[in-house]
């Protein structure tokens, strides 16, 4: 099977981090990009949700995703109450 070559521009630090991540998964950059493209074709769109947040809402969402400002003791206490 013949392959086509594509060229993309990417921040060098982002590229290095992606290569490290993909390598830990047993993939190279080319395979990971091919997987993304194949998933996009399968879904007929971007295979993940793209969102746009209003004003300060973006930071609140990022905090929630990373667990910042969450009271973990309350969650732990509730689990043991049952």
Q: Where are the domains of the chain?
A: 1-48, 51-82
Between the CA of residue 36 and those of 22, 29, 74, what are the distances in Å?
Answer: 12, 11, 39
Nearest to 33 by CA among 45, 44, 19, 13: 19
- Please give the model's pTM, rounded to 2 decimal places: 0.59
pLDDT tens figures, 12-58 = 999 999 999 999 999 999 999 999 999 999 999 988 887 776 666 76
């Amino acid at each position: 099977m013949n392959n086509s070559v594509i060229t993309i521009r990417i921040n060098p630090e982002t590229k290095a981090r992606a290569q490290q991540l993909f390598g830990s998964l047993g993939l190279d950059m080319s395979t990971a990009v091919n997987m993304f493209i194949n998933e996009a074709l399968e879904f007929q769109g971007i295979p993940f949700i793209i969102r746009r947040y209003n004003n300060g809402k973006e930071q609140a969402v990022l905090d929630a995703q990373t667990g910042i400002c969450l009271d973990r003791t309350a969650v732990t206490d509730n689990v043991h109450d049952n």
